[in-house]
Amino acid sequence: MKIVVLDGYTINPGDLSWKSLEKLGECNIYERTAPEELAGRAEDADALLTNKVCITAEAMDKLPKLKYIGVLATGYNVVDIEAARERGIVVTNIPAYSTPSVGQMVFAHILNITQRVGHYADEVSDGKWSENPDFCYWNTPLIELLGKKIGLIGLGQTGYNAARIGLGFGMKIWAYTSKSKLQLPPEIKKVNLDSIFRECDIISLHCPLNDETAEIVNASRLSLMKPTSILINTGRGGLINEQDLADALNQKKLYAAGLDVLSTEPPRIDNPLLKARNCFITPHIAWATTAARERLLLIMCENLEAFINGKPINNVAG
């Protein structure tokens, strides 16, 4: 079997090993692949592994040997699933590999905003504490999480994980979810979307990006939020209307936002959130801990080996 990895750098920039994959067939591993390079590199491939390189119906038509596409992520919108199904191409994804790491990032942003550890480390380095007449020094609000309401929009595995961490801080957990009340544990309260925006102190986005959820955070919903509230997004950038959020932050309609994703990545230099007040952005790294990437590579090989053995798992093309 000929296996081609189209964009392996972000998954394994050199700190992990491809040996398990190389045992499954002849491998060509590329750090990055531009759209115009796809056909040439994948021409003889039986199996393609992709993270962000798009595999369209047109691309599939140029790859007559292709039998398998492994998406190296949980979301699989980079592949035309219907076209793959029509051509009998199996498409797999990698579910839940980054759930613990994403939960960490949700609360890394929450704790950064509420405790401002990085800010105070810089202040101390700049001599502000040394120059202070008192034994302690602070110049921002310091916010306790105990008793605060966190509203989770979406309650899949990452949402549930965030809920468990929130409970550990003594927070009240509200959720907007398609699950019924009977499916939820008693410590999670099912509420409607407007209630999340009106009443929660922190809102965290955990829903998929689709036609129904695109720009679910917009000027109308932001206007419902309390000026002390915080928005967190470790899901997809397209869940937020970025200009509306920048305006709301700059007008102090909410206190702060912590974002690990943006609508275009890397962001355009004129993205309004880059300069917005109290907007803290990390460069799409919630998924990228060493442990999460190790799990990704393990599941990637399990998926491909199962396909080779005629028993596909995690098949999203049905």
Tens digits of per-residue pLDDT, 105-138?
Answer: 999 999 999 999 999 999 999 999 999 999 999 9
The confidence score (pLDDT) of residue 313 equals 97
Tens digits of per-residue pLDDT, 29-65?
Answer: 999 999 999 999 999 999 999 999 999 999 999 999 9
Residue 156 in this model has a pLDDT that exceeds 90: yes
Q: Which residues are catalytic?
A: 236, 265, 284
So where are the chain's domains?
Answer: 2-96+290-308, 99-281
Residue 308 in this model has a pLDDT that exceeds 90: yes
The secondary structure of residue 27, as a DSSP letter, is E
pTM: 0.93
Instruction: Kindly give the residue spans of alpha helices, DSSP state H, lying in the chain.
Output: 19-22, 38-42, 57-61, 81-86, 99-115, 117-125, 157-168, 193-199, 219-222, 242-250, 290-308
The confidence score (pLDDT) of residue 315 equals 97
Alpha-carbon distance of 239 to 42, in angstroms, equals 33
Query: Which 3 state secondary structure label does DSSP give 285?
Result: coil
No. of H helices and E strands in the chain? 11, 12
Tens digits of per-residue pLDDT, 205-236?
Answer: 999 999 999 999 999 999 999 999 999 999 99
CATH match for 99-281 among 3.40.640.10, 3.40.50.920, 3.40.50.720, 3.30.465.10:
3.40.50.720
Alpha-carbon distance of 149 to 171, in angstroms, equals 6
Tens digits of per-residue pLDDT, 238-281?
Answer: 999 999 999 999 999 999 999 999 999 999 999 999 999 999 99
Please state, for a pLDDT cut of 90, what percent of the chain lies above it: 98
Query: Which 3 state secondary structure label does DSSP give 206?
Result: coil
Domains 2-96+290-308 and 99-281 share a fold: yes
Concatenate the DSSP letters of all residues of 234-274 into one string. Answer: -S-GGGB-HHHHHHHHHTTSSSEEEES--SSSSPPTT-GGG
Residue 318 in this model has a pLDDT that exceeds 90: no
Average pLDDT of the chain? 97
Residue 201 in this model has a pLDDT that exceeds 90: yes
Long-range contact set of residues 308-315: C-beta below 8 Å, sequence gap at least 24: 308/1, 308/24, 308/25, 312/90, 312/92, 313/92, 314/92, 314/93, 314/94, 314/95, 315/90, 315/91, 315/92
Alpha-carbon distance of 168 to 186, in angstroms, equals 15
The confidence score (pLDDT) of residue 167 equals 98
* Residue of 83, 17, 61 whose CA lies nearest to 318: 83
User: Regarding the domain with residue range 2-96+290-308, which homologous superfamily does it belong to in the CATH classification?
Assistant: NAD(P)-binding Rossmann-like Domain (3.40.50.720)
Tens digits of per-residue pLDDT, 86-106?
Answer: 999 999 999 999 999 999 999
Average pLDDT rounded to a whole number, residues 6-26 = 97
Alpha-carbon distance of 288 to 294, in angstroms, equals 10
